Each structure stands twice: as structure tokens, then as C-alpha cells.
Amino acid sequence: MFDGNWRSAVNRGLDPIGAVLCRMGISADAVTIFGIAMATVAAVVIGRGELILGLVFLILTGIPDALDGPIAKAAGTSSVRGAFFDSVSDRLCDALLFGGVAWYLGSTEPGRIFMLPMALMAAASLVSYQRAKAESLGLDAKGGLMERAERFVVLGAGLAFSFVLIPVLWAMLVLTAATALYRFAKVWRQADSLHSI
């Protein structure tokens, strides 16, 4: 949803910040690595039950993710290698964050509810894979109700108000699964129309 409606506008707003950071000598790769480090800290902090502090580090994970593209653009270093590194780092950060939530739930909740973030991570990975595979085939798989930006925002709400964390995770899982189904149908229709030409 974010990619389809606001990504271009947000990127235009971040371009001046990317240009300033570029002039300061900060590279896109360095910002991406910083984001991975923040996700690692967030996972540990969340796992230890310090959810508000985890929210702070979640925000510090999201900021570099938003800025690495504008920095690369300002530096003129946008490349396939950079896009690959950014995409891999996104998946790694997702795994770290959901792993931290699973650690927290495993330490504080009875039963197997700690598997909920793992199911969510699997669904999120499927959503990301669908887009990557579709784009490699020259098709478009963008869109859906629960993309990465939305997952960050909703997870942040769950961390801020821990009493709704589990319901928030269930809602994220349902909406992420719906996004996967939407993307599958979207790509299927595109592929079908190409096949019929």
C-alpha cells in the first residue's frame, strides 16, 4: 500500500537529506550496515522484554532503510549491487526483529504463541519473494495491505502498547497473508495475459 501510494512522495522529501548526508561523506552501504546493527540491538532488547526501548531501536532500524536509497541517488552510486545488498539487509532485519519478538513471547507467554512471529516472518518472506521473482520475470507484484513499511508501523504500535502485541501480530499475519494472495493473483493475471498473446 505504501509503495503504491506514497513511496515516490516520501523519496522526494528524503532526497535533500540524502544529499546532505552524501556531502558529509556517509555512504549508502554504511547506512544500510547501521540499520542492520540497529535491528540486531532491537532484537536483543525486545527479547529481553524492554519493549519501549525496542521501539526506539525499531525506529532507528527504519530510518536508515529509508535513507540509503536517497544517499545512493545523491552520490550517483545506485547500482544492482546496492539494490541487492539493500534487499538482503531488509530480509535480515525482518528476521532479527521477528526473532526478537519470538524470544520475548517464548519467555513471557505460555504455550506455543512464540511461533506466531515465526509464521509472520514466513508470510512476510513470501510477500518479498513474490515481488523479487515477479520483477525478475518482468512483471509487477507491488501492492497489498501489509508491505514492509506497514509492518514496521504496526509492529511499533504493538511494542508501544504491549497489551495488544499478540492481537497486533495476529492482525499482521492475516493482512500479510492477504497481501501474499493479492500479489499471487496479480502476477498470475499478468502472466496469463502474456501467455494468451
Band of residue 151 on the pLDDT scale cut at 50, 70, 90? very high
Active site residue 86: no
**Which structural domains are found in the chain, ordered by start?**
2-196 (1.20.120.1760)
pTM of the model: 0.87
Task: Write out pLDDT tens, residues 9-48.
Answer: 666 777 788 788 888 888 888 889 999 999 999 999 999 9
Give the model's pLDDT for residue 143: 86
Give the model's pLDDT for residue 87: 87
Percent of the chain scoring above 70 in pLDDT: 92
State the catalytic residue, choosing from 65, 68, 86, 90.
90
Q: Is the pLDDT of residue 191 over 90?
A: no
Give the model's pLDDT for residue 14: 79
3-state secondary structure the chain: CHHHHCHHHHHHHHHHHHHHHHHCCCCHHHHHHHHHHHHHHHHHHHHCCCHHHHHHHHHHHHHHHHHHHHHHHHHCCCCHHHHHHHHHHHHHHHHHHHHHHHHHHHHHCCCCCCHHHHHHHHHHHHHHHHHHHHHHCCCCCCCCCCCHHHHHHHHHHHHHCHHHHHHHHHHHHHHHHHHHHHHHHHHHHHHHHHHHC
Cα–Cα nearest to 75, from 13, 18, 34, 30: 18
Q: Is the pLDDT of residue 137 over 70?
A: yes
Task: Write out pLDDT tens, residues 86-118.
Answer: 889 999 999 999 999 999 999 999 889 999 999
Separation CA 14–CA 69 (nearest Å): 9
